[in-house]
A and B are shown apart, each in its own frame.
Chain A
Amino acid sequence: MTGSMHPTATDAATTAVTVNGSEMSVAEVAPHTTTLQWLRGSGITGPKEGCAEGECGACAVMVARPGGDGGTRWTSINSCLVPAAALAGQEIYTAEGLASSEALHPVQQEMAMRGGSQCGFCTPGFVCSMAAEYYRKDRSGCACGEAGCGTAPTTSDIVSAARVVPSGNELPWSLAVDDDARPLAPGLPPRTAVDPPARTEPATRYESTPGHEPETGPNGFDLHALSGNLCRCTGYRPIRDAAFALGDVDPRDPLAQRRDRPAPASRPLRLGSPGSAFVRPADLDEALGLLAETPDAVLLAGSTDWGVELTIKHRRAPLTIAIDQLDELRRFHVSDDHVEIGAGLTITEVERHLDGSVPLLAELFPLFASQLIRNAATIGGNLGTGSPIGDTAPALLALDAGLVLASSRGERTIALADYFTGYRKSVRTADEIIKSVVIPMPVLPLGRFYKVAKRKFDDISSVAVAIAARVTDGEVAEIRVGVGGAAATTIRARETEAFLRGKPWTAETFEAAAEIMRVEGTPMSDHRASARYRSATLAQSIRRFHEEVAS
């Protein structure tokens, strides 16, 4: 196969997506058609369109993705963002496929029983996100907190606790108080306000320590798994009740067994027609060749950015080159002096690979968009789009990361600090692909990531500040500060860094540094935050860093 500009559909196996266990062809599907549009157009209407931009999760489906252990990890993604062609050769499940004809899936059972579904429009997406977390191999424990037990408070326990029953004066729940077959005759007992009755204590309910709502259930369920799914009806509590009540996975469950086999292999693919083509190249060289021939091609990795261009802006590309499954972009390598992270690894995968070894990034990952987005978005894509409010860039700047850029002309390594040149602009040329991100090791021992956004999770940063430092003999020996949301690009707070370098590690030093930090960048006012607020939070981040690290 060459870099021909006239790609054609390949064999049936390559162009099939296995949906709920049955193969469906995407051979005739246009490259700009999202998975959600394709599924719904094919009569699989469980996934819904609530926003068409990856914010609400009503479209979530489960995909069989490499588990990192040679097996498969069920992963939920927003189907509204991913072109259907990008899932060719893959296996996905929607809510419809989780239940058998007779029995509900345990996730569906809990959602139905506990009132996790009201209007129901968000429900199939919640079911898929919840099921993916249900199948996470390292999730363990039963809803009661005891391994292998299987009991959880019932919804009856929960709702009965919500009734305030006047003691000694319990009212019938029924209008009809006896079994005499008389016509409807309620005979309601009178109730007056003059005698406020004493209240009974509530029954045991699913309760957390006030102010410290757990983000992990007693069954090991990580609530972040649902962070990208919005519900407007239930207030989330019944959904959380359902998630935290899930038991252990039944080893006979075919989806559980599927985890022990490898995820579907990547296969090269060509679809579409000239002017509207989709290519999954066999290797990096082929991708680079295609890109060199077609500089206006779109590189597709997680599609969390391109998907929005497709649906909201209705942009169309002459050629889409899928690079998310290229082996060369999916490597993770650790040596004594650096970590090299393949640009095609998703944020979720990077988090798993690093496993806390870079604390600054470990702080960042849970704040990066939502789990649904992290499951698709790649680290290379987050840098490649050049957004000034992408969250990885400030952290990687503070870590002094470099990028390996590959083209058919060869490879070059460039410091991330020299990468961004303007709003969504960088030194990357049209024929280059970000191949990997290189973080020098060991990282500076002190690291903090501060993200200020309008909403705690599932939001774009108003301001993001990443600080990495080393203190030696009571002095700031080294410090790097990466800042997002304060200029047209992510920046290093150079003047603040220069001021701090060599200064004593004291509150006074950082108080003075905060005033320098306050005027770093060129923050603007928009509906996310005012310029004044952005400047104030920049200053606060420097003070806070010292306070938190010192304590």
Chain B
Amino acid sequence: MTVQHTGTAGQDLERIDGVAKVRGLAPYAYEHQVDNPLYLHPLQATISRGRIETIDTTQAQAAPGVVAVMTHLDAPRLAGTDDAELAILQSPAVGFRGQFIGAVLAETPEAARAAAALVRVEYTEEPHEAELRADRDDLYAPEQVNAGFPTDTRDGDPESAIAAAQVVVDQTYTTPFEHNNPMEPHTTVAQWVGDELVLHDSTQGVHPVRQTLAPVFGIAPEKIRVIAPNVGGGFGSKGVPHAHVVLTAMAAQRSNGRPVKYALTRQQMFFLAGYRTPTIQHVRLGADASGQLSGIIHDVIEQTSRIKEFAEQTAVPARMMYAAENRATSHRVAKLDVPVPSWMRAPGECPGMFGPEVAMDELAEACGIDPIELRVLNEPDIDPESGKPFASRHLVECLREGARRFGWADRDPQPRSRLVDGWYTGTGVASSTYPARRQTGNTARIRHDRAGRYSVQIGAVDIGTGAWTALTQIAAEALGCNAADIDLQIGDTDFPVATVAGGSTGTTSWGAAIIAAAQAFRDRHGDQPAVGAHAEGEAGENPAAQEYALHSFGAQFAEVQVHADTGEIRVSRMLGVFSAGRIINPRTARSQFLGGMTMGLGMALHENSVMDPRFGMIVNHDFAEYHIPTNADVRDMEAVWLDEVDEHAGKLGARGIGEIGIVGAAAAIANAAYHATGIRVRDLPLTADRFLA
């Protein structure tokens, strides 16, 4: 045979996994057939800080169907306890309300749950702190923030620049405490087979789960197999294994070899599966009368749990977004007796672009210029942070294209001047950005299974992003065959090592490995590969990252209606224009952008986990009270993208698209709400009561 280049990447291919999913036949973690399973129901702490004095499991042990009850008194000892989130049941200490303190294993879920209610626990409570406030005296500077960024940065003398500026914006903005809430609750099915642990897990990375758990259980990573062919969303919360994976695997050590199944309830997810920290952002901008920025200061206060540090990199985008000679950013963190925060879609950029992008809107008004023109005016020639040239920075094109499509030219800048049928109407804009990174440590394997058919293996995971389809297209293009000739195999640690589906790095990082493997395959086997021929390839670093700053950009536009009588707010239109490098599959990409924008709409209007600091309790810990957008909240929404290939983003030319859609969306909506009502709300979510003058 002759391998032909067919160019399947970039094609508008239907989702490969779509048919099984619409039939209801695609298996998720809980649904894999296992023999004779036991079911786990957890015991959770009902205090926010303190220690367990007594825990009486007598009744539970005797309850019908119960096989084992496990507490800190008798749970298996873990080999690695450095990660306090994962080191559960190792001591009587309680670090936050809802923390695992034990588990019941039973023959049915009903029996496990009924027995769990019979366990009696007595605690000694210690005073707890669960409220994030800017005036706390125990805020501290972490050594670094998430993803290894420096905690503070400083260029020039921003305080003096702002003091001398003709126009100043000096405001505080807050973003909400948010929960990822993928539709599939976190699920683990664990079984020990001899000294090997097999996990069906709802995860964003099978190899990362293995690598995290191996030291916890004191076994070699190769002794853990993780399987995840279909995952019902993650948005970051499944990016690292949380404590339920450890709990289930521990329980499986007490099950006489039987598999143990555990799916978190939606309620449990609010305490045990990560979340986005609330942030308090003090933004100061100084500019001349024309709007030219001279100083930017972005000081962020956020929370972590006392038992484990997770410091969101909220101020990072302010370091590179606009040209101002004098810039300073900082992060200060409160350690609270609250659940452990983690990644949520566009960590850093998503909350971190809210304050500055609303501040830019305020600056535009103060200077009397259009908010798009203000951004264009402050467009940097090179990355202000690193001093490197941008590999590709098309923010201005995104803004201009969006303005054209959205009808921005007709906009009357006067706020509160359009009342139609009882609704104040306004429009707003904000910039979006997200870094383009490639993760190293990805390997793919290609094998010529039978004439004209190629299996492509890599431990990647499709959490709904479209990886099944996009990686198939990339493989077909790299090998020069049709997508139908590719048998992609992902979601299993039996396949070559892969990094997490996170940070918008999946397609680009795994894709680079697949291209490397295809290259090796073709180099070794030529155009007429024998059946059985195979090759592996590993993707290294993107060398261009040394020379260039790699970021995606976008422009978010929103039209908002606020009811004059009730303050109810609706987003009637949204448009996102994105520059994200090459788009591998326009159909799946469109959904990714729209989904990100919709999650940004949720952040703007609804999403807010309400902490009752008296009890360290998240009050609205379910879907009835923690609202994500419904179909009816999403009206006329469209996403478009610049047709481009980033020549510095590796052979694929793509920069990743999973997160940029959410960034800036909430700011655009808040800016539109101001334009509609003349009421500047600097705190999310934008609830109706804020607009009743």
Nearest CB on B from A526, distance (A):
8
Known A162-B640, A234-B594, A527-B610; 15 more pairs at CB < 8 Å: A33-B110, A45-B24, A108-B19, A115-B587, A117-B22, A118-B15, A119-B463, A159-B586, A173-B9, A177-B7, A211-B572, A233-B591, A236-B598, A237-B634, A312-B267
Contact present for A229 and B643 (CB under 8 Å): no
Encode contact with A along B376-397: 1 for CB under 8 Å, 0 otherwise. Answer: 0000000000000000111011
A46 to B, closest residue via Cβ: B24
Identify the stretch in B65-73, B164-172, B434-442, B560-568 within 8 Å (CB) of chain A at 4 or more residues: B560-568
Contact present for B3 and A181 (CB under 8 Å): yes
From B18, B266, B515, B627, give the contact of A184 (CB < 8 A). Answer: B515
Identify the stretch in A424-432, A474-482, A497-505, A537-545 within 8 Å (CB) of chain B at 4 or more residues: A537-545
CB of B606 closer than 8 Å to a CB of A: yes
A108 to B, closest residue via Cβ: B22
Contact present for B466 and A118 (CB under 8 Å): yes
Contact present for A124 and B24 (CB under 8 Å): yes
A229 to chain B: which residues have CB within 8 Å?
Answer: 631
Encode contact with B along A111-137: 1 for CB under 8 Å, 0 otherwise. Answer: 111011111111110010000000000
* Prevailing SS type, chain B contact patch: loop
Contact present for A119 and B232 (CB under 8 Å): yes
Encode contact with B along A158-194: 1 for CB under 8 Å, 0 otherwise. Answer: 1111111110001111111111111110101111010
B14 to A, closest residue via Cβ: A113
B465 to chain A: which residues have CB within 8 Å?
Answer: 118
CB of A331 closer than 8 Å to a CB of B: no
Nearest CB on A from B149, distance (A):
26
A53 to chain B: which residues have CB within 8 Å?
Answer: 266, 622-624
B19 to chain A: which residues have CB within 8 Å?
Answer: 104, 108, 112
Nearest CB on B from A309, distance (A):
13
Contact present for B606 and A454 (CB under 8 Å): yes
Contact present for A115 and B590 (CB under 8 Å): yes
Name the interface residues of A420-456: CB closer than 8 Å to any CB of B.
450, 452, 454-456
Nearest CB on A from B441, distance (A):
21
Contact present for B645 and A183 (CB under 8 Å): no
CB of A210 closer than 8 Å to a CB of B: yes
B27 to chain A: which residues have CB within 8 Å?
Answer: 45
Interchain CA distance A40-B261 in the complex, whole Å? 14
- 30 example contacts (A-B, Cβ-Cβ < 8 A) are as follows A45-B24, A45-B31, A53-B624, A55-B623, A107-B22, A111-B22, A112-B18, A118-B465, A118-B466, A120-B18, A120-B26, A127-B22, A164-B401, A176-B6, A178-B5, A186-B651, A210-B636, A223-B632, A227-B631, A232-B233, A238-B590, A238-B594, A370-B630, A452-B688, A456-B633, A457-B633, A530-B689, A536-B689, A537-B565, A540-B565
Contact present for A210 and B559 (CB under 8 Å): yes
Encode contact with A along B210-243: 1 for CB under 8 Å, 0 otherwise. Answer: 0000000000000000000011110100000000
A166 to chain B: which residues have CB within 8 Å?
Answer: 643
CB of B117 closer than 8 Å to a CB of A: yes
CB of B595 closer than 8 Å to a CB of A: yes
B188 to chain A: which residues have CB within 8 Å?
Answer: none
Q: Which of A98, A176, A202, A226 has the most CB of B within 10 A?
A: A176
Name the interface residues of A144-158: CB closer than 8 Å to any CB of B.
155-156, 158
Contact present for B12 and A159 (CB under 8 Å): yes
Contact present for B586 and A117 (CB under 8 Å): no
Contact present for B18 and A50 (CB under 8 Å): no
Contact present for B572 and A210 (CB under 8 Å): yes
Interchain CA distance A238-B231 in the complex, whole Å? 20
B155 to chain A: which residues have CB within 8 Å?
Answer: none
B2 to chain A: which residues have CB within 8 Å?
Answer: 181
CB of B184 closer than 8 Å to a CB of A: yes
Contact present for A191 and B645 (CB under 8 Å): yes
CB of B577 closer than 8 Å to a CB of A: yes
B645 to A, closest residue via Cβ: A188
Q: Known contacts A174-B10, A184-B515; is A30 also within 8 Å of B463 by CB? A: no
Contact present for B24 and A183 (CB under 8 Å): no
Contact present for A230 and B628 (CB under 8 Å): yes
8 smallest beta-carbon distances between A and B, as pairs: A174-B7, A46-B24, A119-B464, A121-B232, A173-B10, A120-B21, A235-B594, A95-B24
CB of B4 closer than 8 Å to a CB of A: yes
A196 to chain B: which residues have CB within 8 Å?
Answer: 394, 396-397, 400
Interchain CA distance A182-B518 in the complex, whole Å? 12
A366 to B, closest residue via Cβ: B632
Name the interface residues of B468-524: CB closer than 8 Å to any CB of A.
477-478, 480, 515, 518-519, 522-523
Nearest CB on B from A96, distance (A):
5
Encode contact with A along B614-634: 1 for CB under 8 Å, 0 otherwise. Answer: 000001101111011111111
CB of A139 closer than 8 Å to a CB of B: no
CB of B416 closer than 8 Å to a CB of A: no
Contact present for B7 and A172 (CB under 8 Å): yes
Interchain CA distance A94-B22 in the complex, whole Å? 11
B602 to A, closest residue via Cβ: A232
A178 to B, closest residue via Cβ: B5
Residue tally, chain B, CB below 8 Å to A: 132
A186 to chain B: which residues have CB within 8 Å?
Answer: 651, 653
A48 to chain B: which residues have CB within 8 Å?
Answer: 28, 183-184, 232
Interchain CA distance A116-B464 in the complex, whole Å? 11
From B393, B480, B592, B630, give the contact of A456 (CB < 8 A). Answer: B630
Q: Which of B23, B232, B599 has the most CB of A within 10 A?
A: B23
From A56, A120, A127, A180, give the contact of B17 (CB < 8 A). Answer: A120
Q: Known contacts A96-B24, A172-B7; is A58 also within 8 Å of B606 by CB? A: no
B266 to chain A: which residues have CB within 8 Å?
Answer: 50-53, 56
Nearest CB on A from B519, distance (A):
5
CB of A416 closer than 8 Å to a CB of B: no
A186 to B, closest residue via Cβ: B651
Interchain CA distance A338-B183 in the complex, whole Å? 46
CB of B417 closer than 8 Å to a CB of A: no
A485 to chain B: which residues have CB within 8 Å?
Answer: none
A184 to chain B: which residues have CB within 8 Å?
Answer: 478, 515, 518-519, 522, 651
CB of B181 closer than 8 Å to a CB of A: yes
CB of B43 closer than 8 Å to a CB of A: no
CB of A298 closer than 8 Å to a CB of B: no
CB of B252 closer than 8 Å to a CB of A: no
CB of B139 closer than 8 Å to a CB of A: no
A124 to B, closest residue via Cβ: B24
B650 to A, closest residue via Cβ: A186
A456 to B, closest residue via Cβ: B632
Encode contact with B along A410-421: 1 for CB under 8 Å, 0 otherwise. Answer: 000000000000
Contact present for B22 and A112 (CB under 8 Å): yes
Nearest CB on B from A166, distance (A):
6
B465 to A, closest residue via Cβ: A118
CB of A324 closer than 8 Å to a CB of B: no
Contact present for A155 and B12 (CB under 8 Å): yes
CB of B185 closer than 8 Å to a CB of A: yes
CB of A213 closer than 8 Å to a CB of B: yes
A156 to B, closest residue via Cβ: B12
A123 to chain B: which residues have CB within 8 Å?
Answer: 21-22, 24
CB of B635 closer than 8 Å to a CB of A: yes
CB of A240 closer than 8 Å to a CB of B: yes
CB of A47 closer than 8 Å to a CB of B: yes
Contact present for B631 and A226 (CB under 8 Å): yes
Contact present for A120 and B12 (CB under 8 Å): no
Interchain CA distance A183-B625 in the complex, whole Å? 55
A527 to chain B: which residues have CB within 8 Å?
Answer: 610, 619-620, 625
From B14, B24, B230, give the contact of A112 (CB < 8 A). Answer: B14
Nearest CB on B from A243, distance (A):
9
Q: Which of A174, A202, A212 has the most CB of B within 10 A?
A: A174
Nearest CB on B from A474, distance (A):
24
Contact present for B15 and A458 (CB under 8 Å): no
B600 to A, closest residue via Cβ: A235
CB of A49 closer than 8 Å to a CB of B: yes
Encode contact with A along B392-436: 1 for CB under 8 Å, 0 otherwise. Answer: 111011001100100100000000000000100100000000000
Contact present for A181 and B4 (CB under 8 Å): yes
CB of B687 closer than 8 Å to a CB of A: yes
CB of B652 closer than 8 Å to a CB of A: yes
